[in-house]
Amino acid sequence: MSTAASPQIRTAGSAGFHLNRRGRFLFVGFPVLVLAVLAAAAAVFFGVNGMAPAAASDERPIGTVHSVTVGYGDTLWSIAGRSAPDASRNETILRIGELNSLDGADLQPGQVLFVPTAG
């Protein structure tokens, strides 16, 4: 019996190389993942910058403002009464909230607030 080597015959379909699961991820999935992250970062960047001019164009004039340090027992009501005694306290409290981006009425001693001044 002869053990002669048989020649390998390649067809058109078997000429290339085959990728395993890790290789397919490296050549297809990873670039898609990178593009998705870049697209999300661009959307966040342009979304934040697109909203900035709208937030800056407040129709209400700023007026005269000074800073007040919150003392123990101070409330927005008492601070509004001291800073603008002739104005409506409710409007002054709303303005203090706008100037300081307050979510509620909780104040901490030592906290510095910007408050509108009377006329």
CATH number at residue 82: 3.10.350.10
Question: How many CB atoms lie under 10 A from the CB of residue 68?
Answer: 15
Is the same domain home to 49 and 72? no
Is the same domain home to 71 and 104? yes
Average pLDDT over residues 46-74: 69
Tell me which DSSP letter residue 111 carries: -
pTM higher than 0.75, yes or no?
Answer: no
Residue 92: inside a domain, yes or no?
yes
Contact 112, 68 (CB under 8 A): yes
Residue 13: inside a domain, yes or no?
no
Is the same domain home to 49 and 70? no
Assign 22 a pLDDT band (cuts: 50, 70, 90): confident
Q: Scanning the structure block, which residue is given the tokens 């509004």?
A: 80
Q: What is the total count of domains within the chain? A: 2
Structural domain for 32, as ranges: 20-56
Reduced to 3 states (helix: H, G, I; strand: E, B; else coil), residue 58 is coil
Residues whose CB is less than 8 angstroms from the CB of residue 95 and which lie 6 or more positions away in sequence, other chains included = 115, 116
Residue 8: inside a domain, yes or no?
no
CA dist 68 and 101 (Å) reads 15
Is the same domain home to 29 and 69? no
Residue 14: inside a domain, yes or no?
no
Residue 47: inside a domain, yes or no?
yes
Question: Computed from CA positions of residues 88, 93, 96, 98, in that sequence, does the dihedral angle turn out positive or negative?
Answer: negative
Q: What is the per-residue pLDDT across 38-53, written as a single tens digit (0 to 9) for each?
A: 888 877 777 755 555 5
